[in-house]
Each structure stands twice: as C-alpha cells, then as structure tokens.
Amino acid sequence: MICRAPTLEGSDEDQLLRVSLGPQHPSTHGVFRMNVVLDGETVVRLKPVFGYLHRNHEKIAEGTSYLASMPYTDRLDYICPLSNNWAYALAVERLAGVEVPERAEYMRVILAELTRLINHTAFLGFILGDMGAWGSALMYAFREREKILDLFEDLTGARMMANFMRFGGCRNDLPTGWAERVSVIVNDYGPFLDEMEKFLVGNEILLSRSQDVGQLPKEQLLNGGITGPMLRAAGVNYDLRKADPYGIYERFEFRIPLGEKGDCYDRIMIRFLEMRESLKILRQALAQLPEGDYIHPKAKLRNFKAPVGEVYSRIEGPKGELGFYLISDGATNPYRYRVRPPSFVNLTLLEDMCLGLDLADVIIILGSIDIVLGEVDR
C-alpha cells in the first residue's frame, strides 16, 4: 500500500511519500480512498477519491414515481434511514402542499430523534475504533443501538431499510405498547451515556489524540458549507430545528449544544450533549403524543402528482443539513431530483483540516466528520 514516489531530479517533491489510503482500509468508513502525500509523517496534500458506491440515485429517482424513490432514500445514509425518509417526504409535501396530521408529526419527531441517538451512538463506537479502542466501545454502542433497531423492526418491518414515511403521514400506526417501550429505552439511555462518558472521556489516549486536532476557524467552516455537529462544535449556533423549524420542533424545549474550539474532542463531546437533548425531546414528544390519524385521509399513494414548481427543503439530519431539491413538471415522476448530502459537503474541508498534521490524525479527523459512503457517493 505504501510506495516511494518516483524520484524527480531537482524537485522539492523527491522526498515526499505518496500513500493511497483505502478504498478497503478498515478505518475509512466504507469504500473511500484518500491520496495522501506525506513529508515524513506530515500531511502535505490530501485528495479524497469518491465514487466507489456511486449508483446514480438521482437518475433512478427521476425515472420512477415519487413513491418508488422512498425505499431508495433509506439507502442513502443507511445508519439513519428514517431521517432520510422524513427529509424526502417533507420535500414532496412542500412541493405539492400536502398536509400532515398531528399524530404523524409526533411519530416523525420520535423516529427522527431515535435515529439521531442511533447515529451518534454508532459514531462513538466508530471513532473509538479509529483511535485504536477496537472492540469494547463499538460493542457497547451497538448493543444499545440494537435495542432501538428492534423497535424499528416492530414498527416498520425492517431494522434499517424502513421505507416508513409517506406523503402526508406514515405508513402504519404505532403497534400497541410501542410508545411504552420507547419510554423504557429513553429512561435507560441516560445511564448508558453516563457509563459511556466515564468509559472514554477521561481517557488520556482519547484526550491527547483528539484535543487540538483538526480545528478550523468557524468562518472557514461556514464558507466550506459544513453543517451539523461539525459546525456546532466550532461554536456556530446553527441547528435547523431552531433556525429553520420544520415539523413540530417549535413545540419542544431543548437546547443546542455548542463547542468551544472545534477540534475533534469537541466534535465527540457535542454528540454526547446532543443525545441528551434528543432524550429531552423524546420525553416531551412521548408525553404529548395525541390520538388520531397516522396519515392524512386524502393522502395519495399511487399516481401521485405534484403541481408544476420546485422546492428546496432541508432537515437537520444527524450528520448535518440533509436537503432535497425537487422540480416537478406536473408528471408522476420528478423532473429533477437532487439530494444534498451532508456527508459529501462536509468532506470539502477534509484536506484543510489535515494539512500539517500527522497521518494518524487524518484517520481521527475523517472519523470525526462522520461520513457514510452511501450518501457521499449516492
């Protein structure tokens, strides 16, 4: 994997080492490759290589009905399919002016926040794996994640590929006793987070490997289009649940955790804090969950047509701003269908974050961005 660069007489480059990290490297989070140029151990250049998982989701979606794209959205960010479902359903609802009943809105909030818990928990396991704590942390994280996935299976029929949201509501109602089981998990999650925090927060290895690594000024992060926990770790207060509210988030009381420095340590800690805020939202949503329709009675499944127009609609996905841009020309399929994936845009500044640092830091920085290749390559 490591090879000496061809020596060029009289060039500054003759002492540089070219390393191709990936695409099947265990710590690159899927089939992702980076071409790194090293001066000794220090990163001089870094170019990410994409497309190993590219299947042109957008082209497929432009050729099929609005409904048939829904199961494909599950496969964008396969760690959190229900957020993707919501983002797409919301975009179509805004495009066609479809209303959503109250109960469905609450169900969506509950599912999206559970998804955020899943994503951030899995993130903790992965990033610790990247730092060398391979095994225990990931297993603890996945044990808790699996409990939520069991709930998803009981509700939607599949652990991950949910295909649950519909234009105007959700596909089916909550099974009996489901909400109670969510409250059990919500109550148990706080102690789990305490345990996890104890497990790693004071750990010297984690502190020394993540603190002051991968910082960038917040103006640069914003200019680079970075959104989500990455941006908030640098202290920019921009969470779409408050900044551009969608669904019924205005009804809940919660805070937006902000970091101070924006290094990898802050990015890890911000996820802990966000999970605790998600638990707050979940408690409120479960307490207020009303009876009623889970889907609008006039919602259309087959032959769904949207009026001529376009929409850009976005939600605060667990990884950042997940946007859908749709153009309708009045037919049963969208004329243009675009996903704005947070993972893809968040990678824009990967090189800037890594320059001048060691190769080992690249792995942690990549881990702290929290990418999923299903979404990056689409």
Partner 1 sequence: MNADPESILGLLRGALPGVHISLRKNPGPSAQHSLLIEASGLVEASRFLRDHQEFDLLSNVTGIDWPDPTKADKVAPTEDEGAIAPEVGFLEVVYHLFSTTRRVGPLVLRCRTKDRREDVRIPSLVSVYRSAEFQEREIYDLFGVTFTGHPDLRRILMWDEYVDHPMRKDYVAPDDYEYEPTPHDAVLEKAKVHYPAPS
Partner 2 sequence: MNQDKMETPAAPARWTWPGLGLLQGLAVSGKNFVQSFYKKERMTTVQYPEERAPISPNFRNFPFLCYDGDDPKAGLRCTACTICEKECPPQCIYIVLDRDENGKSLKRPKVFDIDISVCMNCGICAEVCPFDSIYMDGEYELSTDDRFGGLMLGLDRLSKSADYHMKLRPEQATEVMERRKAEEEKKAAAAAAKAAKAKADQEAKEKAAAEAGASGEKGDEA
- The residues that touch partner 1, with contacts defined as CB under 8 A, are 50-51, 54, 56, 58-59, 94-97, 219-220, 222-227, 236, 238, 243-244, 306-314, 321, 323, 325, 327-329, 335-336, 338, 340, 344-345, 347-349, 377-378
Residues for the chain: how many in total?
A: 378
Say whether residue 201 binds partner 2 (CB under 8 A). yes
Choose among partner 1, partner 2, none what residue 308 binds, the Cβ cut-off being 5 to 8 Å by kind: partner 1
Distance CA 246, CA 314 (A): 9
Say whether residue 332 binds partner 2 (CB under 8 A). no
Closest approach, Cβ 234 to partner 2, in A, equals 12
Distance CA 251, CA 88 (A): 22
Is residue 226 within 8 A of residue 353, CB to CB? The reply is no
Report helix, strand or coil for 286.
helix
Q: Of 35, 65, 215, 348, which one interacts with partner 2 (CB under 8 A)? A: 65
Choose among partner 2, partner 1, none what residue 328 binds, the Cβ cut-off being 5 to 8 Å by kind: partner 1
10 Å Cβ neighbour count for 330? 10
Is residue 315 within 8 A of residue 83, CB to CB? The reply is yes
Closest approach, Cβ 97 to partner 1, in A, equals 3
Say whether residue 269 binds partner 2 (CB under 8 A). yes
Distance CA 234, CA 262 (A): 4
Say which DSSP state 14 is in: G
Say whether residue 219 binds partner 2 (CB under 8 A). no
Choose among partner 1, partner 2, none what residue 141 binds, the Cβ cut-off being 5 to 8 Å by kind: none
DSSP-assigned beta bridge partners for residue 313 = 324
Residue with tokens 């790693």: 200
Residue with tokens 């509210």: 245
Choose among partner 2, partner 1, none what residue 50 binds, the Cβ cut-off being 5 to 8 Å by kind: partner 1
Closest approach, Cβ 181 to partner 1, in A, equals 37
Is residue 335 within 8 A of residue 327, CB to CB? The reply is yes
Alpha helices for 201-331 (secondary structure H): 204-210, 218-223, 229-233, 240-243, 264-288
Q: Give the dihedral sign, CA 114/119/122/127.
A: negative
Choose among partner 2, partner 1, none what residue 301 binds, the Cβ cut-off being 5 to 8 Å by kind: partner 2
* Residue (56 or 208) nearer to partner 1, CB: 56
Q: Of 20, 42, 64, 220, which one interacts with partner 2 (CB under 8 A)? A: 64
Which residue, 254, 316, 294, is CA-closest to 116? Answer: 316
* Residue (101 or 342) nearer to partner 1, CB: 342
Q: Which stretches of the chain bind partner 2, using CB under 8 A?
A: 64-65, 67-72, 136, 140, 143, 146, 153-158, 161, 163, 171-172, 175, 188, 195, 198-207, 211, 237, 242, 255-260, 265-266, 269, 272-273, 276-277, 301-302
